[in-house]
Every structure is written in C-alpha cells, then in structure tokens.
Chains A and B, each alone.
Chain A
Amino acid sequence: SQASRGETQIAAGAELKSKAEPWSLLRPLDERDRSDFLSPVFRVLYDGQGGTPRLQPDSRALRYMKRLYKTYATKEGIPKSNRSPFYNTVRLFTSCAQRKRAPGDQATGSVPSVDLLFNLDRVTAVENLLKSVLLYTFSNSISFPSAVKCVCNLVIKEPEFSSRIPSRAQSSFNFNLQFEIKKKYRWFEVDVTTPLRPLVASNKRSIHMSVNLTCERGQGQDSSAWDKPFNVTLLVPPSLLLYLNDTSAQAYHGWYSLRYKRRPSQRADQNGGLSVCSKGKGSAEGVRSSRHRR
C-alpha cells in the first residue's frame, strides 16, 4: 500500500507537473524529468554523462547542511535513530533575487527589509511539508551578553508577473519571535511553516516575500550591559529551509519501521517472568543505572 500510494501520488504529481516516472528509462530524460536523487542516477547510467553543470550553492548554506548531515547520519551514511523519524528530506533554498528595500536602523536594531524570491522547483509532488524556517546567519561570528528579542514581519507576495492581482492579495504575517543568542552563535531560525504550508501544498513553483526583522535590547538590560548594539548589518539575507516527508516508495520511512518494530521490553513482558525483577533489586539497579547515566 505504501508503494501503491506513493505511485498514485507520483502519477498525480505527473499530471500536475508532467514529470516522468523517475524509474522509466523508456524515453530520454530531459531537464524537467529530474524529480529526485535517484532519477539523476538513472540519467547518468542512461546517457553516461557525469551529470549536467550545476549552479554552485552558497558556501554558508553548504556548511550548514554538512553540519545537519553529520547530525542526522553516520560517516557511512546510515541515518541515526536520534533524529526526528518524521521527515526524510530537508531542502535548503537560497534566494535567487534579493532586493533591500528600507535601510536598517542601527539604533532600534531593525534589519534592512529585504525582498526574497525562492524557486521551489525541486520540491516534488510526493514531498509533504512538515516545517519551514528562514535561516539567518551572521557574516562573522559575534557574541551577545544575553537573549535578544525580535519581531519578524513577513509579507508573502504574488509573483511579479501576476501584477493584475490587486495588492490586497498580498498576505502579511506578524511574528513575535523570541530567540536566544549565545556566544559564537552563527545561526538562528524564524519558523514560517504557517504561511508557507498552503503555498508548498499547492505546488507553488516560486515564493516571493519581504521580511522585516526588528530586534531590541533584552528587557531590563541597562545600556551598560551591551558592549555594542545589536549590529543588524551583520545579518546575511536568510535561506529557506523546508523539512519534508517524501512519501514515495524509494524514500526511507523511519517512523514506519519504528512503529512496527516490537521493543524487547514488550517481548519480555509477553514472556511474563523475564521482565519481573524483585522490587528492591530493580529499584537499586534503577538508581545505580540512572546515577551511572548522570
């Protein structure tokens, strides 16, 4: 059922985006047909080329994704069991067009508002959005004495070419966003799942938004506590990070195997005697192991 569901969705996706079945090698794959990692593998096998030329990703974004990979998988590429089993795909997009609109204000810590355009062509019809964040980084590592409170104003726009849609079609979202910036902190995330979910679900190919971030001194902080104001010019325009669940048959569904794997303790319980240990001994063991763990 997993495979058939995935295939029906792929088929549905195919009508939507006229993408070929990733496995069908019956006709030459062209640009539009690459829907994920495996079909480029088949494309290479099929036409023997070492892959088409690719745009080089932003170096900061690549560094972030390499760290994410090390968190989620071993050196051999085996997914670690400690990561969330619900998403098996994470995509990072760098804005293909950035335009600064209003200049930032050093005193109030408001970041210059930027227009961002993200091209989501690589998101396939079988990838369901679970979470999306705007990923901010500082151009160089700076440290702050304590938490910083920020308000993020996000305006989602219709793409430029649909100018006939009146401006009221733009939807604006205000986020009261609180985040903790510690020493040598390089990244922070703004969760934008709510406004983006309908756009990704409707297979929007590009998302146009303007983001305005205003950060102010921590509450109750006297001015001496800050050796330098929140230097907003150090912020690099954000990337867009999508956490997705690929429902196709060839994707790994860790939650699926978690749910249907019987735990040894269950098996011991079923055998009765094995799991029963004397209260005293069990609790002593419990305490010792927890102390050991601590």
Chain B
Amino acid sequence: MNIFRFAGDMTHLISILVLLLKIYATKSCSGISLKTQELYALVFLTRYLDLFTDFISVYNTVMKLVFIASSLAIVWCMRMHGLVKRSYDKELDTFRHYLLVAGCFALAVLVNEKFTFQEIFWAFSIYLEAVAILPQLVLLQRSGNVDNLTGQYIFFLGAYRALYLLNWIYRYFTEVRFSRWIACVSGIVQTGLYADFFYYYFLSWKNNAKLQLPA
C-alpha cells in the first residue's frame, strides 16, 4: 500500500459518502444517473468475485464489502424508495448503458490477463468502470446546473482514479515486476473522460459560481 493508493481509496470512499449524504439529506436523487449507479454496482460485483477466495487484508475485504453494499443500497434507494424514486430524472437519464455493458464484456473476452472466468470478469469490471460515468455526465449536461453535493460527488469520483494513476506509476518504479497495464490504460481513459468536467468544476470554484456544463 502506498500513499497514492490509500488517498485514492479514501477519495473514492468520500465520493460514495457525499452521494449517500445528498440522497439522505435532500431525500432526492435529482441530477444523479441511476444508470451510472447500476453500472458501478456491476463493476464492484464483477471485480470482487475473489472476495471469499483471496484474502489480501482486513482493509481490502472491508473496503470491498463497503463498495458493494453502498452501490447496491444506492441503486435500491433510487429504484424502490418512494420519496427518492419520485425525484429521479427518468426522462433525462436515457443513456443506453446496456451497450456499454455489451461492449466492455466483448472487449474483456478479447483482451484480458488470462482467459479464466475470474480474469475475464475482472477485465470487464475495469473497462466498465472507465465508461460508467458517461450516463452521469450526459445527465449533467442535460440537467443544466447541478447542486453542490452532486458536483462534489463527481469530482471525488474522478479524482480517485487520477490518484490510482500515480499509484501505478509509483509501483512501476518501486516494484520489480509490477505490470497492470489493463487497469492503467483503462484508468487513463477513465480520468480523461472527466477532463472537461474538471475544467468546468475548477472554473465554478475559481469564479465562485454555480457549476454549469455547456449544453
């Protein structure tokens, strides 16, 4: 474990806590894409198949359980919880995310570290996470200005993978045979997708204005 990866995990945890806070405090999920939340739940469920077979550390197991439980709780909340469900922007959240699932699975079958069930699903989860934010960014663009908590949620979610990029650079130089190029290339794409959001987020912070993505 290095500081970059720990900071990345904490940033990821913060993004989830901010989203839970927004939904709980405002009893609303307006501006949040259910499709992105469903994709993230799928990412965690397919990435942590080794939850019960490979014990890495208490930290690793606990964090995996937190990520799986929170992502499922958010999807459940947005689908089932009466009050929250009514605030969902159903007509704006129309990204065909099943295409992302199909494309990432096809890619995972072709490009993986080893042609085994677990490795294919791991590669699938890595590719899917890279594009999982797309429905959320599209919804953001359509819904004009967003509330602060939603903006912060997306900011921390994007920042965590940027920290992971630093972690992979650090591990590449400090560990003899560290190579996780699938995660690394995917992480670069994932962080790149946030580029314009980061730009407008920075502008809104600098001008102390509401976050607005150009339509």
Partners in one complex: no
A contact residues vs B (CB 8 Å cutoff): none
B contact residues vs A (CB 8 Å cutoff): none
